[in-house]
Amino acid sequence: MTDSGPSRRAVLGGVGLGLAGAGMPLAAQTPAPAPARPLTDPRSRYTSDPFPEQKQPWPGLQSKMTPRPDCGEASYRGSGRLAGRKALITGGDSGIGRAAAIAFAREGADVAINYHPDEEPDAREVVDLIRQAGRRAVAIPRDLRTLQGCEAIVASARRGLGGLDIVVNNAAYQQSKPDIFAITDEQMVRTFETNIYSYFRIARAAAQGMAPGSVILNVGSVNSYDPGEELLDYASTKGAILIFTKGLAKQLAKRGIRVNMIAPGPIWTPLQVAGGQLPGKMGEFGQDTPLGRAGQPAELAALFVTMASDETSFSTGTAVGAHGGKGSP
């Protein structure tokens, strides 16, 4: 550099002065650190007290459960991770499906929920919560145990939302029986129609119109790996969901559609009070996990959001567990 030109120090100094003069001090460009968040002991985040014995006719309403499940109604905070997405959730009125619906809406997605017509009171609450988040809500009360029902659910969701790029297969039927001799053929057929036939049919109908980047999430269970002896038919369907997820993921990868499974352990939902536990056993529910308690639906919400978002774009054909330390994966 010649004597007639500005020195390097002068140039840099002038840049600094210019920024300061423009009201943009250099120090202001470094964001202040976020306040520390206190640690939460997972053993005591939710009650570990035994649940009181209670029973409801199937399908059960969480609004009548004691205590009511926590689906994140008051706690989930979104940050736009699913902005503009359009999601269908079966069994979205209560329990795990309700938690996913609330989280998706607060992350910016429009949400359609399917549910059994008898679950209308719970469903109305979820629709209100979705709309309070400023998102479009579509209610689809329909039994999904037939091919026609499944195809109609997908068509209604796509029409009501203006498209579809997230599908959560969550609806389930569960009746505990002490042994195979107590499981009627009617119960066995109903369990398979609800828990695996509907997953297959809804995924097939939805995938035909889903764009690359779309996601299908199937809800399996710890029973997919470690079947409870009183849940023979239910556990069999959950094992089928695991294999269905892995196989479908391989097929739909060619279309750019990811397929994964969420595998919960003991979670406090209406399934438990509507025949999911043997008589007199409600107080034992979740007590044998290493964390010493059952989980709440709200504790799965972030898993659904993460697996539905582009942040997990290389994850397909896999399973993510939430079982309190007991089970796989």
Catalytic residues: 234
Measure the CA–CA gap between 218 and 235, rounded to whole angstroms.
15
* Location of structure tokens 């809800």: 219
Question: Which of 268, 252, 272 minimizes the C-alpha distance to 260?
Answer: 252
Partner residues linked to 325 by β-bridges: none
Structure tokens at 27: 């120090």
Do 94 and 122 touch, CB atoms closer than 8 A? yes
Measure the CA–CA gap between 92 and 22, rounded to whole angstroms.
52
Which residues lie closer than 8 Å to 119 by C-beta, 6 or more apart? 59, 61, 93, 94, 141
Q: How far from 298 is each of 1, 73, 99, 286, CA to CA, in Å?
A: 64, 8, 6, 16
Query: Where are any strands of DSSP class E within the chain?
Result: 86-90, 110-115, 137-141, 166-169, 215-219, 258-264, 319-322
What is the DSSP secondary-structure string of 208-277?
TTPPTT-EEEEE--GGGTS--TT-HHHHHHHHHHHHHHHHHHHHHGGGT-EEEEEEE-SB-SHHIIIIIS
Measure the CA–CA gap between 81 and 312, rounded to whole angstroms.
12
